[in-house]
């Protein structure tokens, strides 16, 4: 099987001189040990050049699949290239669950953790917070591992691919749980402003979808562990009378079951089913994380520039992420609200809209999603991450020759 020459969104053509798909860890070690410039590739679902390189691009998708569940420690050890959709059913069958999942099961576990990928929920940390240990091929080709509690671990999970090629991860599990998904439509923005905290905490996982076109939230998705029934109206919003797709005008078939039908966590936490194209499939994305205490002010700041956002927009999503201690996690030491934007795939219009979003959110110290389109200046990003310097030191120690750096990393940290 060959390695894709572009990312999923096709807005980045990889500039690698060589593409590799090793089928064993030894083969991977040989490639890394002998190469000069290496980048790991997951499933390529990032929207910027974070996974690109001019040297050797190494897909981990061909590594022998491992799904090793340890009931005693409530953990699963997985090979890095597996997609969530290839792992979750086995985890569920063993009576366990991941505490959080992104909107789609198509992404690789290593790639998701490397960028701080998250779902929603006021008490749910990003997916990487479940990582208990990881095994990676370092710059000299040796296989090393690092575990929670080890020096440098907090910098090694959301690591942007800059510390080595992860081959395996061990993640904490929670007991399996069921969820019901309810969708409400047309939540008046004025009522939302009054009850933002209540709305965001109304279920295990809550997503608000808005097109920023008028004074309402188009849809509220509640992923709930609670009751079998839901009121037909709630805070001025109306319970949907059929399944919905979050992007206006699209058919709901690719979406996970709604209408309160109970299902396992892995069939409700993602918005999209594994066997369909997720989201609209023809798009770019951006996302910004601000302190949860700034939710209403940040919402109002975006609302004030909605004419500059909405022409480029398919749909926007508002979610929450619980604070963590991972140095480069966008939720590092912050309970966050995340403002996400699914754009039309029109780079010029997106650039303009992204500028408007970034200017509006600048007073709130918004951290951009590492894997999505953004233009936040590196100096601003550095100032937003208290352990940025510590990560820099970790990179310098573990990879003195800069083998795992690429243009994206150099832009952030400066060329050496």
Ligand X SMILES: Cc1cc2nc3c(=O)[nH]c(=O)nc-3n(C[C@H](O)[C@H](O)[C@H](O)COP(=O)(O)OP(=O)(O)OC[C@H]3O[C@@H](n4cnc5c(N)ncnc54)[C@H](O)[C@@H]3O)c2cc1C
Q: Which residues bind ligand X (CB under 6 A)?
A: 8, 39-46, 50-51, 60, 80, 102-104, 107-108, 110-112, 114-115, 117-118, 160-161, 165-166, 278-279, 285, 369, 371
Q: Which is nearer to ligand X, 41 or 309 (CB)?
A: 41
Minimum CB distance to ligand X, residue 229 (Å): 28
Minimum CB distance to ligand X, residue 43 (Å): 4
Q: Which is nearer to ligand X, 51 or 91 (CB)?
A: 51
Q: Which is nearer to ligand X, 166 or 237 (CB)?
A: 166
Minimum CB distance to ligand X, residue 175 (Å): 23
Q: Which is nearer to ligand X, 119 or 230 (CB)?
A: 119
Minimum CB distance to ligand X, residue 6 (Å): 11
Minimum CB distance to ligand X, residue 146 (Å): 13
Q: Which is nearer to ligand X, 97 or 278 (CB)?
A: 278
Minimum CB distance to ligand X, residue 343 (Å): 12
Minimum CB distance to ligand X, residue 291 (Å): 18
Q: Which is nearer to ligand X, 62 or 102 (CB)?
A: 102
342 Cβ neighbours under 8 A, 6+ residues apart: 247, 279, 280, 283, 284, 285, 313, 314, 315, 316, 317
Minimum CB distance to ligand X, residue 46 (Å): 3
Q: Which is nearer to ligand X, 44 or 368 (CB)?
A: 44
Q: Which is nearer to ligand X, 266 or 369 (CB)?
A: 369
């Amino acid at each position: 099987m060959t390695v894709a020459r572009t990312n999923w969104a096709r807005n980045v053509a990889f500039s690698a001189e060589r593409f590799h798909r090793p089928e064993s860890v030894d083969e991977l070690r040989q490639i890394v040990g002998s190469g000069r410039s290496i980048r790991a590739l997951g499933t390529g679902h990032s929207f910027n050049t974070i996974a690109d390189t001019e040297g050797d691009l190494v897909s981990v998708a061909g590594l022998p699949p491992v799904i090793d569940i340890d009931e005693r420690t409530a953990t699963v050890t997985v090979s890095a290239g597996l997609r969530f959709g290839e792992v979750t059913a086995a985890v569920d069958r063993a009576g366990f669950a991941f505490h959080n999942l992104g909107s789609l099961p198509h992404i690789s576990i290593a790639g998701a953790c490397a960028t701080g990928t998250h779902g929603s929920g006021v008490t749910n940390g990003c997916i990487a917070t479940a990582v208990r240990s990881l095994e990676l091929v370092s710059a000299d080709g040796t296989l090393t591992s690092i575990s929670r509690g080890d020096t440098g671990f907090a910098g090694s999970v959301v690591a942007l691919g800059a510390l080595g090629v992860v081959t395996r991860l061990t993640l904490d599990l929670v007991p399996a749980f069921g969820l019901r998904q309810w969708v409400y439509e047309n939540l008046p923005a004025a009522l939302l402003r009054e009850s933002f905290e209540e709305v965001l905490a109304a279920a295990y996982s809550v997503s608000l979808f808005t097109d920023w076109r008028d004074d309402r939230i188009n849809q509220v998705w509640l992923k709930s562990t609670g009751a079998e029934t839901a009121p037909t109206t709630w805070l001025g919003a109306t319970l949907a009378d059929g399944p919905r797709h979050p992007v206006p005008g699209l058919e709901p078939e690719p979406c996970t079951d709604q209408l309160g039908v109970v299902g396992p966590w892995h069939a409700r936490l993602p918005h999209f089913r594994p066997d369909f194209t997720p989201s609209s499939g023809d798009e770019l994305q951006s996302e910004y994380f601000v302190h949860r205490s700034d939710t209403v002010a940040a919402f109002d700041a975006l609302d004030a520039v909605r004419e500059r956002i909405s022409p480029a927009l398919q749909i926007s999503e508002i979610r929450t992420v619980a604070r963590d201690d991972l140095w480069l996690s966008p939720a590092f030491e912050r309970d966050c609200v995340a403002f996400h934007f699914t754009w039309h795939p029109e780079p010029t219009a997106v650039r303009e809209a992204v500028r408007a979003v970034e200017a509006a959110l600048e007073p709130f110290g918004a951290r951009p999603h590492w894997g999505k389109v953004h233009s936040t200046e590196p100096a601003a990003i550095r100032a937003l991450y208290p352990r940025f310097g510590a990560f820099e030191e970790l990179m310098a120690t573990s990879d003195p020759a800069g083998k795992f750096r690429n243009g994206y990393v150099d832009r952030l940290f400066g060329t050496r």
